[in-house]
Structure 1
């Protein structure tokens, strides 16, 4: 059986019970590097990979593939299906943006949610929404997003959450256009557009 399981924002205490059971019972568990190190307290023989290109040759028999957040939201499940892998079950996890919004105690009804993690995205959609949530990466950082939105004339707040769910979690709020010192490669950014 091949399954894909979302492990949540990172800290293993945010695993669902279903995902934890799958990690414990699968014959083989494969995870990306950061996730693998977090899960080792549950399962010491996790196979750690750095890239999706390493994944397919390692899928043999009863394999659980672990992905951060929800594996259906800009996640590895789409890649596997497009590559012809027959995924038998998908177990969702708490997304980093769900976690971030819970920390802010901020509903995200009607929010514009998209990912700039490993992909280019058009920031102009942010201009149409009161609230936007963006997943970032090393190139599309909170700092570059803040400056680009300011260049586009947007007025409002930008909130960046780094290392979400870990002991060194940091959440910083600034005015759009202000600089962020990057404390982590990955972040979740919330944009509060005061012009809508």
Structure 2
């Protein structure tokens, strides 16, 4: 008697063996020196690379097809679905794949068997390393395109790291903390991390100037 459950499992295994997986690759903090070799190998071996404009421009994609991800994420999903069966597709994301990246959205549309996730060095890891600090007990959060109650995290932790955007500048973060009664903290502001024009500035949160312009950055807030 044929065990059809086993037959189906065997067919699925063979199908997965021959299937092109979608490589989701973390690019690290920015500079190519910080892309893991496994991630670079996946990008080099792909013939289609998908990512944000800035990330695509940072890579040498000569001879490869590229697709720029904009606000239309559903369009990117449709493109990947139409391409990945017959092509080697790499989706590149900033930092690490596991922290506020496109991976969460991709998992809503593709199975675990269809994805191969290759981590990267997060900008937070890099920032703490540049400060010579550990980060195992730090509060981590992102204000990039979102709000969160980071003041509570700062109040309860000696180390906090936040991803920022054009709205949540270091000054605005400092102002929110002061409004919430958190005043005895120092902020380290990391700009252009890993690039030649990298700059890390230390400032008391009570002394951050409203008019000082920072590039989109990572901030670490500590109690010293």
Fold shared by both chains (TM-score > 0.5):
yes
Partner residue of 1:14 out of 18, 27, 34: 34
Any stretches of 5+ residues in structure 1 without a counterpart?
A: none
Q: Quote the offset at 1:179 in angstroms.
A: 2.1
Aligned partners of 2:174 and 2:205 also within 8 Å = yes
Aligned to 2:5: none
- 4+ residue segments displaced more than 4 Å: none
Q: Deviations over 1:79-99 (max 9, x none)?
A: 1112x1234210000000111
Q: Does residue 1:94 correspond to 2:104, yes or no?
A: no
Structure 1: distance between partners of 2:189 and 2:72: 27
* SS of equivalent to 2:207: coil
> Is 1:157 aligned with 2:172?
no
Question: Are 1:177 and 2:198 matched, yes or no?
Answer: no
Contact 2:185 2:223 in 1 (8 A): yes
Distance of 1:187 and 1:32 partners within structure 2: 17
1:118: which partner in 2? 145
Could you list the runs of 5+ residues in structure 2 that have no partner in the other structure? 1-20
**Mapped contact 2:169–2:214 kept (Cα < 8 A):** no
Q: Secondary structure at the match of 2:58?
A: helix
CA contact (8 A) 1:8 1:96 kept: yes
Corresponding position: 1:188 with 2:214: no
Residue 132 of structure 1: SS of its match in structure 2?
A: strand
Query: How far apart, in 1, do the equivalents of 2:72 and 2:129 lie?
Result: 30
**Which residue of the other structure, out of 56, 68, 85, is the alignment partner of 1:48?**
68
Query: What TM-score do you get using the length of structure 1 for normalisation?
Result: 0.91
Indicate the RMSD between aligned Cα atoms, in angstroms.
1.5
Alpha-carbon shift at residue 110 of structure 1 (Å):
0.6
Q: Which residue of 1 aligns with 2:103?
A: 77
Give distance in 2, aligned partners of 1:152 and 1:191. Answer: 15
Q: Normalising to structure 2: TM-score of the pair?
A: 0.80
Who is 1:28 aligned against? 48
Offset at 1:65?
0.1
Q: Deviations over 1:31-79 (max 9, x none)?
A: 2111111112xx2234333336242122112211000001111111001
Partners in 2 of 1:118 and 1:73 — Cα distance?
14
